[in-house]
Amino acid sequence: MDLADSQITQGNEIIQSMGLTNVRLLEYFIYQVGSFTIQSLTQHIEENKEFANITENELYSAVLSLVILGYVYVYLTTYPIYSFEDNKTYIPKSFTQYVKTLVEGANQYIGAGNMYNGDVEDLNKLHLYIMSQMEKPTTKAELKSALQGYLIQNEYQDMNNNDKLIDETYDCTELFNALFDVLTRLGISSL
């Protein structure tokens, strides 16, 4: 067993020792809420009877275990996420050019990160295209329409049917939202 396997085994043992109720509580906050404080966890426990048996000591132990395993990061200040506003939100061209440099190969030397120096992976040409369209204030509807046009013009394949090219009937909402999720992690804007 190598070091990585040993750490995975250790991590699994720690998670199992937390108990199913603790794991469900923390999964909810990690995957659905996104960010939390001990106060918000405690309040949620008080408001939901299924978590009533979790003690303060168990809560702190579970959170500390997840910090050690790298599932949760602790920050002193909150990360401001700005909501997209039609005809107001824009991305400076210089930032788009920086991301373009990363997408075109500089990512082998430097990576994109958020305010907390966390990696923002999976930046690609579609993110870059959306960013370029946001160099001037626009609307969500115009961005979606531009994305659809870009997909058609560049002969992207339908993700649900690889034998079919994207056309005017393709609903790009899911893709659009996924692209914005990555941009939100980069600190640009959320939908």
Condensed to tens digits (0 to 9), the pLDDT of residues 147-181 reads: 999 999 999 888 777 788 889 998 999 999 989 88
Alpha carbon separation from 3 to 64, 68, 72, 87, 142 (Å, rounded): 21, 16, 21, 52, 50
Interval 107-112 mean pLDDT: 82
pTM of the model: 0.67
Condensed to tens digits (0 to 9), the pLDDT of residues 126-140 reads: 999 999 999 999 999
Condensed to tens digits (0 to 9), the pLDDT of residues 36-88 reads: 888 888 898 888 888 888 888 888 888 888 788 777 777 777 777 788 899 99
Residue 38 pLDDT: 85
Residue 14 pLDDT: 57
Residue 13 pLDDT: 62
pLDDT at 94 over 90: yes
Q: Which range among 32-36, 92-96, 120-124 shows the weakest confidence by mean pLDDT?
A: 32-36
pLDDT at 5 over 70: no
Helical packing angle, 20-27 and 56-69, nearest 10°: 60
Residue 91: phi, psi to the nearest 5? -120, 125
CA–CA distance, 191 with 181 (Å, rounded to integer)? 8
Other Cβ atoms within 10 Å of 149 Cβ, number: 12
Residue 186 pLDDT: 80
pLDDT at 19 over 70: no
CA–CA distance, 55 with 41 (Å, rounded to integer)? 12
Residue 140 pLDDT: 94
Q: Per-domain residue ranges for the chain?
A: 5-69, 93-186
Q: What is the DSSP string of 127-173?
A: HHHHHHHTSS---HHHHHHHHHHHHHHTTPEETTEEEEE--TT---H
**Sequence-ordered alpha helix ranges (H) in the chain:** 3-18, 20-27, 38-47, 56-69, 93-103, 125-133, 140-153, 173-185
